[in-house]
Structure 1
Amino acid sequence: MSGTGQQYLSDSYVEETRFGFWFLRSYTWQHHVLRVAINDLRHVFSEALPSHPVLLDAGCGQGKSFQYLHRVFAPQRLIGLDADPHSLMLSGEEAQRQNIDVELIASDCATLTVPDASVDLLFCHQTFHHLVEQEKALAEFYRVLKPGGYLLFAESTEAYIDTWVIRWLFRHPMHVQKSADGYLQMIRQQGFEFGPQNVSYPYLWWSRAKDFGLLERFGLRRPKPVGQREETLVNVVARKPLEGQC
C-alpha cells in the first residue's frame, strides 16, 4: 500500500500508506484524535496561555488541526509546516474551507525554515514517531521557540506503534520508536522544563493496543490505572526557559 508518490523535502521521509493517508482526513482522526489531544494539551498548561500567540503546527499534514488550534489558542499568526507538498496543498484547501488564515511552509522538521525565537507555541501532534532525525527536530523546535515559549507535544508510544494492526495499516520508522518515559526524557534533555502537572497519559479507546478497549467496554476487563500499564499515549506541555533561567 503506497502513499501519494510525491517528492518529499526530507531524505529520511517515511511515506505513509494509502490507508494512512485516507485515515488522516477521516472523522475519527479529526474528532477522536486531534480534537481530544488539543483539548487535553490545553488542560495541562499550568500557566496562562500566551495572548494572541504565533503558533507553529510542525507536521500539519492535511490541515485538519487548524480549526481546533484556532478555536482553542486564538493565534494572531498560524503557521503550518510539512515535508509533503501534497499534504500542504490539502492543508491550503482545508484552511480555505475553514476560512482561517494560515501560512504554509514546505520544510523538514529537522531543518526548519523558521527564524530563531519567533514562535510562542509549537504544536507537534502524532508527528514525532514518523521522524527519523528526532534529536535534530527537537533541537529545531527549541531553536524557533521564544524564551518562555511552549512545546505542545502529543505522541503515540512504541507500545502502540509496534503492534501488528498498526504495522499492517500504517508505515513508520520502527527503530526510532520510544516509550512515554523515553520521549519525556528526550524533551527534558533538550532543555525544556515541565512538571508532572504538565503531562498526561490518555488511555483512549483507539489507543488500546490489543483490542481497542472492547473488553473494557463490555465489562470483561477493568482498565489499569496509570503506573500499572504500558502507556500508549503521552501528552506534555514543555516550556523553553526564559533567558537567564537556563
Structure 2
Amino acid sequence: MSYLSDNYVEETRFGLWFLRSYTWQYRVLRVAIDDLSSLFSEPLPSNPVLLDAGCGQGKSFKHLQQTFMPGRLIGVDADPHSLNQSREEAVYQGIAVELIGSDCATLAVPDASVDLLFCHQTFHHLVEQEKTLAEFYRVLKPGGYLLFAESTEAYIDTWVIRWLFRHPMHVQKSAAQYLEMIRRQGFEFGPQNVSYPYLWWSRAKDLGLLERLGLRQPKPFGQREETLVNVVARKPLKGGV
C-alpha cells in the first residue's frame, strides 16, 4: 500500500483489528477523552474547530462529538485504508467530518485555524516528532489547546507490545520527556493540566495480570515509571504563529 508519509510505520494485523475493538473504543479512547476534558483550567471552547491528528479508523469521532460538540471536525491520517474506514464510520455515526490524507509533520491546514487539536496514541508512531509538534503549534489559534494523550517508552518497549504492534523504537520517550518537548515548543500548562493514568491495560510487562490476581500491589504515584501521560496544553494568546 502507498502511504502518505515517507516515514510511516505499518501496523500489524492485530493492531489494525485492535483499533476496531470495543476495548479500544470504550476502555482506551473514551477514557482518555473523558480525562482530557477534565484537565482544562478554563471553560471548553464553544463550537470549536477540532482536528483529530492520526484519526485512524474514526472510532474517536463519536466521543469527540459528544464531549466537545465541535462546529467543525477534521480528521488527518497518513493511511489511505484507515481514511476510508474513517469515512465509513463518520457516515455510520451521522457525523460530518472533513478527512485529509496527510503526514502529521506536514499538515495541509491553514495557520491559526484550529481551536482544539486531539492527538491520542499517535505521537509514538511518528518519526518526525519535533516537526509534528511545530505543525500542531502552527495550526492552533492563539489560545487554542493541544489535547495530548500518549503511551511512554516504559510501556512501548515491553515484550508484549513489541510482539503485538509496530513502532519506531528510536523515538520513544518518557512522560517527562514528552512534557518537556511540548513546553519547549511554546505550549503552556501547569500540574493541574497533566494526568498520569494508571489503567489496567497500561501496566508494563503483564498488563496488570498479577495485580488482578492479587499477587502484586500496584505501585503508587511517584514510585513507578509512568506508562501514560495526558496533558491539555495551551498555545499562548500572544506570540504569533
The answer to whether the superposition gives a TM-score over 0.5 is yes
Q: Which runs of 4+ in 1 moved over 3 A?
A: none
Match of residue 219, structure 1, among 204, 214, 222: 214
Q: Which residue of 2 aligns with 1:3?
A: none
Structure 2, unmatched stretches of 5+, are none
Q: Which residue of 2 aligns with 1:48?
A: 43
SS in 1 for 2:162: helix
Confirm or deny that 1:140 pairs with 2:132: no
Superposed CA deviations along residues 212-238 of structure 1, whole A, max 9, x for unmatched, are 112222322221111110000000000
Q: Which residue of 1 aligns with 2:62?
A: 67
Mapped to 1, the partners of 2:216 and 2:41 lie a distance apart of 34
Mapped to 2, the partners of 1:205 and 1:49 lie a distance apart of 29
Q: Which residue of 1 aligns with 2:26?
A: 31
TM-score, structure 2 normalization: 0.98
Confirm or deny that 1:153 pairs with 2:135: no
How many equivalent residue pairs? 241
Mapped to 2, the partners of 1:216 and 1:116 lie a distance apart of 47
Structure 1, unmatched stretches of 5+, are 1-5
Distance 1:203 1:53, change over 3 A: same
Q: Which residue of 2 aligns with 1:106?
A: 101
Q: Which residue of 2 aligns with 1:20?
A: 15
Residue identity over aligned pairs, in percent, reads 83
SS in 2 for 1:175: helix
Mapped to 2, the partners of 1:226 and 1:150 lie a distance apart of 26
Mapped to 2, the partners of 1:169 and 1:54 lie a distance apart of 34
Confirm or deny that 1:115 pairs with 2:110: yes
Superposed CA deviations along residues 4-28 of structure 1, whole A, max 9, x for unmatched, are xx21111011010111111111111
SS in 1 for 2:99: strand
Mapped to 1, the partners of 2:161 and 2:66 lie a distance apart of 31
Deviation at 1:102, TM superposition (A): 0.4
RMSD over aligned Cα atoms: 1.1
Q: Give the letter aligned to residue 153 of structure 1.
A: F
